[in-house]
Structures are given as C-alpha cells and as structure tokens.
C-alpha cells in the first residue's frame, strides 16, 4: 500500500479546497484498469513534488459527493486545484510528461 | 552509453511476451512502459477467448500473471516514458525522460488507442458523458440510458457489461448487422436492456455541461433523430500509438506499422508486435504470438549481425 494521501468527502474541503499549496486529486476506483495504470505515475509525482504540490487520491466508489460536485463521469480523472479553484482537469490515463507539464503551471 | 541487445516499448501482452522470451534467451533486454504494465486488456472485465482459461479470467489477473511470469525470468521493466526514438539500420537510440540508451534491436509494442467520433459536441463534452471504457465509467450511469457506438466485439461486449448498471443501452451501428462474434451477438440479442439502432451513425453530441443526448442519422433513409442518453460509449476502432516512429517506419493507410511475416518493420532490426501492427485481427492471443515471433526474429537478427561484423 502506498503512502499517498487519501481524501474523502469529509476531508476534501479542508485538505484540498483550503490547501495553501496547489493540489491535485486523482479520482479512481478499484475496478478501473486505466486507474491502475496511472496510479504509479501519480505516486511518483507526489514524491517528486512533496512540499510544493499536495497530491492526493479519492476512491469514487467510497465517496460519491465530491465526484458528483465536480461532474466526474470518467475515471481516472485528475483535477488540479489552485486557491480553492479548479485549475485544470486531466481525463484518462495520460503519460507522466503531460501530467507534469500541467502540474508545473500551478507553481 | 549502455548498449542493449533489444529494447521493448510497451507493456501489454505483445511486449511482455517478447520480454519473457528475450529474458529467457539471456539477451540484454529492458522493457519500457510509460504507465503501469497491462495495456488495453486492463479495461476488459472478463477474457473468455484466451486459451487455457476455460472459465475465463479477469483482464487484471491475466496481465498480472503475464507480468510476473516475465519478471520471474529476469525481464527488467522500467516505468518510464520514451520521448524519442532514432531508428536507422546502423544505430538505434532510445531517449527516455531521464537517459539515452543505445540498442541493437527494438520491438515496438505500444498498442493502440480508441478512435474518437469526430463529430460536433464531442470535444466539448469529453469527460462529461463520453467514454471509451465501460468497465471504468459504467457505474456512473446507474439507472440511466446510454448509447454504445460500434458493432464489433468490444462494442457489443461492453454494451452487455453496461446492462449491469444502466436502464437501457442503445447500440448504434452503421450497418444492419453486427461484426461481433456470433456468441456475443446471441448474448446481446437475449438482453432485454439492449436495443439496436441499425444503419445509423451519430452526427452530434447534445448537451452543454454534460451529455444530454445524441443526434443520429439513418444512412439509408437520411432521417435524423435524437435519443436522450446521459452517456455515450465509443468503440469504433483504434488508432495506433505511433507518434514515436512517424516518418521513420513504413505505415499502412490507417497508420499501423507494416512488417514482414517475422514482425520486422521497414528498418532492419526494428520489429513491431501487437495492436500497433498492420494486421487482420487484434486479439490478446495474436499479440502474444507476435511478441514471441518478434523476440525470436530479434535473436536471429543479432546472430546475423554478429557473423557479418
């Protein structure tokens, strides 16, 4: 099991919307193959950007409110937040270089 | 610079099989996969036509097994993205995000991606009701109506899978009969939740902030109609992931890599296997066979270049 932060419907606002750092949340589920494919990339990025960007995961099977609030109908979806606003949405399992390019725009 | 015997690009069934054989042959080999290994099989709920599994096997389990089998024999798998390939007969350079490697041979097994519809509204509503993966996104459409576009094995199998969640699936197909395997067709025909819309193509996706429907056109009568659906699942064929080799290898008119019977592409020492290759039938079983053939062709190629140099 990885040590990447997991957020829930209960903790989402405090951890992400009110985060001082920019943030990225990986919306995923156990049943989703492409989520498994992009998972290791997200974990690597969470280490590489530690202290600069808060990177977390949310299980959409266990948390229904937050995905609905952001209109998520595809997983994996990565949403990038800055100052409590959605800065970018990345749909599907994209390669690291693309995700990292979008992350750098948050800094 | 490190010199490899062979570098494999892509960690689906073709790449992992090539890696298994090349590792057992004790070649200096590494496999690069930009995401976690598994490939498109990971989007398949249940695989029933891969021999050796009479009750079927989940896509996850099958790919876990292929990966651990290759690793057991020493295949090194790098989770890294290849940014650039320079392919010539005399020199093959693989550039990743972090390093530059030289290799005597390359096996390209990067697979293919689902083709988009290319119609009005699709880009606007991407991620808001358009999907290319029923196993990923099906649960978002509980008790709603959805459309599946396509008539091949994947389209019909995914439509059947979606009946677990949705209230109705409209299979929209441009012809008046399906291309899917007969057994799959029979299962779909027996499903009360599946309705077929024959001789019909989509012309636009409706909705502003989320999919609200789809506009369709009957190709025989020209009649335009609308269906109120919340989700549109698109399975109309694939486009090969050939960004790295464009302009360097011969491709067919649809962009797939052309090879000879031994999987060799138009540059000596460059081989292709699996869904990225120009061929008749894209299956796990064919990908595996091509991976094995490519790996053996690499061995023969290396022997030949050794004796001629």
- pLDDT one-digit tens code per residue, B268-299: 999 999 999 999 999 999 999 999 999 999 99
Residues in CB range of A102: below 8 A, 6 or more apart? A80, A88, A90
- 10 Å Cβ neighbour count for B300? 11
Distance of alpha carbon B202 from alpha carbon B174, whole angstroms: 9
User: In which band, very low, low, confident or very high, does the pLDDT at B309 lie, cut at 50, 70 and 90?
Assistant: low
Mean pLDDT of chain B: 96
pLDDT of residue A38: 95
Q: In residues, how long is chain A?
A: 107
User: In which band, very low, low, confident or very high, does the pLDDT at B253 lie, cut at 50, 70 and 90?
Assistant: very high
User: In which band, very low, low, confident or very high, does the pLDDT at B2 lie, cut at 50, 70 and 90?
Assistant: confident
To test the contact with chain A by mutation, choose from B57, B138, B140, B162 the residue with the greatest count of A C-beta atoms within 10 A, namely B140
Secondary structure element (H or E) that encloses residue B155, with its range: helix B153-162
Residue A85, classified by CB atoms within 10 Å of its CB into exposed (0-12), middle (13-18) or buried (19+), is: exposed
What average pLDDT does the segment B212-223 reach?
Answer: 98
To test the contact with chain B by mutation, choose from A27, A31, A34 the residue with the greatest count of B C-beta atoms within 10 A, namely A34
Enzyme catalytic residues of A: 32, 35
Distance of alpha carbon B155 from alpha carbon A52, whole angstroms: 43
Nearest residue in chain A measured CA to CA from B137: A74
Contact status of B129 with chain A (Cβ, < 8 Å): yes
Selecting from B35, B60, B97 the residue whose C-beta is nearest the C-beta of A38 gives B35
ipTM: 0.93
Residue A33 has pLDDT above 50, yes or no: yes
pLDDT of residue B207: 97
* Residues B32/B33/B37/B42 CA torsion (nearest 10 deg): -140
Selecting from B59, B128, B137 the residue whose C-beta is nearest the C-beta of A75 gives B137
What average pLDDT does the segment A55-83 reach?
Answer: 96
Distance of alpha carbon A29 from alpha carbon A23, whole angstroms: 19
Would you say the C-alpha torsion B286, B239, B127, A48 has a positive or negative sign?
positive
Q: Is A33–B60 a contact, with Cβ atoms under 8 angstroms apart?
A: yes
To test the contact with chain B by mutation, choose from A2, A27, A33, A70 the residue with the greatest count of B C-beta atoms within 10 A, namely A33
CB B146 within 8 A of CB B166: yes
Q: Structure tokens of A40?
A: 């290791």
Residue pointed to by tokens 């099991």: A1
Q: Is the pTM of this model over 0.90?
A: yes
Task: Tell me how close the Cα of A47 comes to any Cα of chain B, in angstroms.
Answer: 15
pLDDT of residue B305: 86
Q: Is B36–A40 a contact, with Cβ atoms under 8 angstroms apart?
A: yes
A72 Ramachandran zone, left/alpha/beta (phi>0; psi -120 to 50):
beta
pLDDT of residue A2: 62
The tally of CA atoms less than 13 A away on the side-chain side of residue B168 is 10
pLDDT of residue B91: 93
Residue A19 has pLDDT above 90, yes or no: yes
Residue pointed to by tokens 């029933």: B48
What average pLDDT does the segment B1-11 reach?
Answer: 93
**Distance from chain centroid for Cα B235:** 11
Q: Structure tokens of A96?
A: 């690291």
Q: What CA–CA distances, in Å, run from B83 to A95, B32, B98, B222, B289?
A: 11, 11, 9, 46, 27
Q: Is A93–B35 a contact, with Cβ atoms under 8 angstroms apart?
A: yes
End-to-end CA distance of chain A: 29
Short-list A23, A8, A42, CA closest to A81: A23
- 10 Å Cβ neighbour count for A5? 16
End-to-end CA distance of chain B: 20
CB B218 within 8 A of CB B137: no
pLDDT of residue B142: 96
CB B154 within 8 A of CB B115: no
CB B21 within 8 A of CB B296: yes
Residue B119 has pLDDT above 90, yes or no: yes
Residue A1 has pLDDT above 60, yes or no: no
Task: Tell me how close the Cα of A27 comes to any Cα of chain B, in angstroms.
Answer: 11
């Amino acid at each position: 099991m990885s040590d990447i932060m997991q957020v829930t419907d209960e903790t989402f606002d405090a951890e992400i919307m009110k985060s001082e750092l920019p943030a990225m949340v990986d919306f995923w589920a156990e049943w989703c193959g492409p989520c498994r494919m992009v998972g290791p990339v997200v974990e690597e990025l969470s280490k590489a950007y530690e202290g600069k960007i808060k990177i977390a995961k949310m299980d959409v099977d266990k948390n229904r409110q937050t995905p609905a609030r952001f209109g998520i109908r595809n997983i994996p979806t990565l949403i990038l937040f800055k100052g409590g606003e959605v800065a970018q949405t990345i749909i599907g399992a994209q390669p690291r270089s693309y995700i990292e390019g979008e992350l750098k725009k948050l800094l | 610079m490190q010199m490899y015997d062979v570098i494999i690009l892509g960690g689906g069934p073709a790449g992992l099989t090539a890696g298994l054989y090349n590792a057992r042959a004790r070649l200096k080999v590494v496999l690069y996969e930009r995401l976690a290994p598994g490939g498109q099989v990971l989007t398949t709920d249940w695989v029933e036509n891969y021999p050796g599994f009479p009750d079927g096997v989940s896509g996850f389990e099958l790919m876990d097994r292929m990966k651990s089998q290759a690793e057991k024999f020493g295949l090194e798998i790098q989770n890294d993205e290849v940014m650039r390939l320079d392919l010539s007969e005399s020199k093959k350079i693989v550039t990743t995000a972090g390093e530059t490697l030289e290799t005597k041979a390359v096996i390209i097994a990067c697979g293919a991606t689902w083709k988009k519809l290319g119609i009005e509204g699709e880009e606007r509503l991407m991620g808001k009701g358009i999907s290319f993966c029923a196993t990923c996104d099906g649960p978002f459409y509980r008790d709603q109506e959805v459309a599946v576009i396509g008539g091949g094995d994947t389209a019909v199998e995914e439509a059947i899978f979606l009946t677990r969640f949705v209230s109705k699936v409209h299979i929209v197909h441009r012809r008046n009969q399906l291309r899917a395997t007969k057994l799959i067709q029979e299962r779909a025909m027996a499903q009360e939740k599946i309705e077929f819309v024959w001789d019909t193509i989509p012309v636009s996706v409706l909705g502003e902030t989320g999919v609200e429907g789809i506009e369709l056109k009957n190709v025989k009568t020209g009649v335009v109609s609308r269906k109120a659906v919340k989700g549109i699942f698109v399975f109309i064929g694939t486009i090969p992931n050939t960004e790295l080799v464009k302009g360097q290898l011969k491709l067919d008119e649809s962009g797939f890599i052309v090879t000879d019977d031994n999987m060799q592409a138009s540059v000596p020492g460059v081989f292709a296997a699996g869904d990225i290759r120009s061929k008749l039938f894209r299956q796990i079983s064919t990908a595996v066979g091509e991976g094995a053939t490519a790996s053996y062709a690499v061995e023969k190629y290396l022997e030949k270049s050794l004796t001629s140099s």
